[in-house]
Chains A and B, each alone.
Chain A
Amino acid sequence: MSRPAHRRPEYHKINKDLFVLTYGALVAQLCKDYEKDEDVNKYLDKMGYGIGTRLVEDFLARSCVGRCHSYSEITDIIAQVAFKMYLGITPSVTCNNSSRNEFSLILDKNPLVEFVEELPAGRSSLCYCNLLCGIIRGALEMVHLAADVTFLQDRLKGDSVTEIGITFLKKLDEKKYRRKK
């Protein structure tokens, strides 16, 4: 009757094609609803933010990662644990500046664009995967880290790679925590 020790709970998974195609339908709908690419990008970022604020709890519960001590560690965890867990890919990480608060995630493969051949005509500024930027930004904000997350390069726009830039800003509510001491 005893439960096996250290048994990991099973996490439900669904068909990836369904996920990718649902995302595609969502982007197509937003393109119909908004004329300007900037508005679609902004809305995708906002949706991603909403997802990220909730996804981070699921991530922390499932991954059991410990406390991070540097921005570089956090970016490594985003690339090697979070992306792997949710999209099955592992982007590579590079640091872009000497103060070690600007990083890039280089995506060799991006499952979200698996069925996308090219951006629609007249939509050359569309950031198709801008949801990802919002998700990362929302998740980081929930752990009290402010960051700017944008696409620096995008294969769909003709660049050679897809690159997401994360710039960590100062920690949120730092002064508030100090005063409480």
Chain B
Amino acid sequence: CESRRWRYGGALHAREVGASGARAKVSLSAFALLFSELVQHCQSCVFLVAELQVHLAALGRQVGAHVLDALVASEKGAQRETKVLGALLLVKGAMWKAFGKEANKLEQANDDACTFYIIGRQPLINTYISVPKEDSRFNCAGFTAGIVEAMLTHSGFPAKVTARWHKDTTLMIKFEEAVIA
């Protein structure tokens, strides 16, 4: 794992960055089609909708573990966040923007200091997915939840992240008690 991380660091420094300092981009349609195939593959491996969500989240965690390095290098000048709020703002801002636009809101639960909510539209993940009525609880944003969970955990703030439907996509982030205490 360590040698792979070194490789990521080397690759990032050698990367070409645009004149405005913007990260390289690919077309949304290419990602949307890749994601669609990914979901179809996961569907073929599971029997229940709940398992599909778990499978997608596991894939998201794989992505999140590595995308953290890429985002930190490009957005924060390779300086990791050392505060919980900073890490959450990185997720709400840079990570959500990787899908198109920053998230709308970051809120803390009234009754639980360890629980936060990030609310925002995710046109990339959910726009091109049609969910049948009988599976209406299924949310492809489970993939995003996996990414966020890995990003926070690898930043040193272990948490469990789940995706819910509530107007827009809502991610519920529950940190371990030691993180907030």
B181 at the interface (CB under 8 A from A): no
Majority secondary structure, B binding face: helix
Partner of B62, one of A13, A25, A51, A87: A25
| CB-defined contacts of B133 to chain A, threshold 8 Å | none
Given A14-B98, A114-B11: A25 touches B59 (CB 8 Å cut-off): yes
Interface membership of B131, Cβ < 8 A: no
For B23, the closest partner residue in chain A by CB is A15
Instruction: Assess whether B50 is interfacial by the CB under 8 Å rule.
Output: no
Given A13-B26, A47-B41, A88-B24, the answer on whether A18 and B99 have CB atoms closer than 8 Å is yes
8 Å CB contact of A86 from B24, B26, B40, B71? B26
Question: Which residues of the other chain, A, contact B33 by a CB distance below 8 angstroms?
Answer: 51, 54-55
Are A115's CB and B34's CB within 8 A? no
Is A117 part of the binding interface, using a Cβ–Cβ cutoff of 8 Å? yes
- A residues less than 8 Å from B71 (CB atoms): 17
A18 with B59: in contact, given A12-B100, A88-B24 (CB under 8 Å)?
Answer: no
Select which of A21, A47, A54, A55 is within 8 A of B66 by beta carbon: A21
Q: In the complex, which of the residues A14, A24, A29, A86 contacts B124, with contact meaning CB atoms closer than 8 Å? A: A14
A28 vs B35: C-alpha distance when bound (angstroms):
15
Q: How far is the CB of B141 from chain A (nearest CB, A)?
A: 14
Q: Contacts A22-B63, A115-B7; is A16 near B25 (CB within 8 Å)? A: yes
Q: Is the CB of A22 within 8 A of B70?
A: no
CB neighbours of A58 from chain B (8 A): 27, 29
- Asked if A177 lies at the interface with its beta carbon under 8 angstroms from chain B, I say no
Q: Is the CB of B37 within 8 A of A22?
A: no
> What are 13 A-B contacts defined by CB distance under 8 Å?
A11-B28, A12-B28, A14-B31, A14-B99, A14-B100, A17-B70, A22-B35, A25-B63, A26-B38, A29-B41, A50-B37, A115-B66, A131-B34
